[in-house]
A and B are shown apart, each in its own frame.
Chain A
Amino acid sequence: MSTSWINLDALWKIIVVGLLLGAGLPALFAVGLRALSPAASATVATESGAGAAPASASLLGRVIAVLCFAIVLAAIGWGVYKIVHPN
Chain B
Amino acid sequence: MLMALVVVTALGFDFTNGFHDTGNAMATSIATGALPPRIAVALSGVLNLVGAFLSFTVAATIASGLVQTHLVTPTVVFAGLVGGILWNLATWFLGIPSSSSHALIGGVIGSTIAAAGGHAVQWHGVTSKVIIPAVLSPVIAGGIAALGTYLVYKITQSVPQEQRKAGFRIGQIGSASMVSLAHGTNDAQKTMGVITLALIANGSLHAGSKAPVWVIVCCALAISLGTYIGGWRVIRALGKGLVEIEAPQGMAAESSSAAVILVSSSFGYSLSTTHVATGSILGSGVGKKGAEVRWGVAGQMATAWLLTLPCAGVVGALAYYAAHGIGGTAGVSAIFVVLVAASLGFYLRSRKSAVNPNNVNAEWSGSIAPGAAGLAAQPA
**Cβ of A5: which chain B residues have Cβ within 8 Å of it?**
124, 127-128, 132
* B90 contacts partner chain A, Cβ-Cβ < 8 Å: no
**Cβ of B251: which chain A residues have Cβ within 8 Å of it?**
26, 29
| Cross-chain contact B128 with A6 (CB below 8 angstroms) | yes
- Among residues of A, the one whose C-beta sits closest to the C-beta of B171 is A29
| Cross-chain contact A14 with B256 (CB below 8 angstroms) | no
* B204 contacts partner chain A, Cβ-Cβ < 8 Å: no
Contact with A along B157-195 (1 / 0, CB 8 A): 011100110011001001100100110010000000000
| Cross-chain contact B171 with A21 (CB below 8 angstroms) | no
* A10 contacts partner chain B, Cβ-Cβ < 8 Å: yes
Main secondary structure of the interface of B (DSSP, over half): helix
**Cβ of A11: which chain B residues have Cβ within 8 Å of it?**
136
| Cross-chain contact A83 with B54 (CB below 8 angstroms) | yes
| Cross-chain contact B263 with A21 (CB below 8 angstroms) | yes
> Of the 9-residue stretches B144-152, B209-217, B299-307, which lies at the interface with chain A?
B144-152
A-B contact count (CB 8 A): 135
Chain A interface residue bracket vs B: 35 or more
- Among residues of A, the one whose C-beta sits closest to the C-beta of B133 is A6
A33→B128 CA distance, assembly (Å): 41
B57, B136, B258, B263 — which one has the most chain A CB atoms within 10 A of its CB?
Answer: B263
| Cross-chain contact B164 with A33 (CB below 8 angstroms) | yes
Q: How far is the CB of A48 from chain B (nearest CB, A)?
A: 14
**Cβ of A7: which chain B residues have Cβ within 8 Å of it?**
267
A4→B128 CA distance, assembly (Å): 8
| Cross-chain contact A30 with B132 (CB below 8 angstroms) | no
A14→B267 CA distance, assembly (Å): 8
* A63 contacts partner chain B, Cβ-Cβ < 8 Å: no
* A54 contacts partner chain B, Cβ-Cβ < 8 Å: no
**Cβ of A82: which chain B residues have Cβ within 8 Å of it?**
262, 266
Q: Which of A1-48 contact B (CB under 8 A)?
A: 4-7, 10-11, 13-15, 17-19, 21-27, 29-31, 33-34, 36-37, 39-40, 43-44
**Cβ of B160: which chain A residues have Cβ within 8 Å of it?**
37, 39-40
**Cβ of B266: which chain A residues have Cβ within 8 Å of it?**
82, 86-87
23 pairs of residues in contact across A and B, judged by CB atoms under 8 Å = A4-B124, A14-B263, A18-B140, A18-B141, A18-B264, A21-B255, A21-B259, A22-B148, A22-B255, A22-B256, A22-B260, A23-B148, A26-B148, A26-B248, A29-B167, A34-B156, A37-B160, A39-B159, A39-B160, A76-B174, A79-B178, A84-B55, A86-B55
